[in-house]
Amino acid sequence: MGHLPAEYFQYYYFRDEILAELRAKPTTRSQDILAQVPDYWSHYREQATMETPSLDPQRSRGGIHELELAIDVMDAMYNDRREVHPVNLVNHGTIPGIGDDIVVEVQGVVDRHGIATITSAPIPSHLRGLIQQLAEYQSLAADAAWHGNRADGIRALISNPLVQTIDKAENVFNELAAAQRHLLPERLFA
């Protein structure tokens, strides 16, 4: 494609290959993650006793780089550093061709006044369609979660490029809703 804007795009461009690879594994992704949890907690307990803790990204479940980034952004803002950092903000024209109300990850200049996004070049059309479809899916899913019902949740799933069929969407929704029923409002079951 000549351009891969985010690692997760592999799931859309190489869907069949990745699905075959994952199905061939003896464990699921969640099983792999849960198997690592005891080592994460051991590492956290160990570091909590250190005078200068240092988290090892290999012994932590994601988020370390995002946590450090958040601290760097707060530091740049508080100390008026005018540093450039990747940030997630409402588009407002920062990426031409993407809806102004869509949250995008872009570069921003951070200082005591806040964050000023750096306008990017338009996204190539062969990528823009997928990005817009994913943004629409996420918006529909959020709407369904906040005030929708079962049909809204299924419609949101159908709009996901990895789902796209009513049967898959209903199956995914039913499994997820059943597993999380104790956390979900009754309107999602109507």
The pLDDT tens digits for 163-186 are 989 999 999 999 999 999 999 999
Would you state the pLDDT for residue 47?
93
Say if strands 83-90 and 103-111 run parallel, antiparallel, or are unpaired: antiparallel
| pLDDT tens figures, 38-82 | 998 999 999 999 999 988 888 877 767 777 888 899 999 999 999
Per-residue pLDDT, 2: 65
Using the predicted structure, report yes or no on whether residue 4 has a pLDDT greater than 60.
no
Query: Tokens standing for 41?
Result: 């907690």
**How much is the mean pLDDT over the chain?**
91
What residues form DSSP beta bridges with 86? Answer: 107
Where do runs of H (alpha helix) occur along the chain? Answer: 10-13, 15-24, 29-48, 64-78, 125-147, 150-158, 166-179
Residues 78-96: what's their mean pLDDT?
95
| Cβ-based neighbours of 172, under 8 Å, separated by 6 or more | 157, 163
Percentage of residues of the chain with pLDDT beyond 70: 96
Of the candidates 150, 80, 92, which has an alpha carbon nearest to the alpha carbon of residue 117?
92
Per residue in 14-39, pLDDT tens?
999 999 999 999 999 889 989 989 99
Q: Quick one: tokens of 73? A: 């952004």
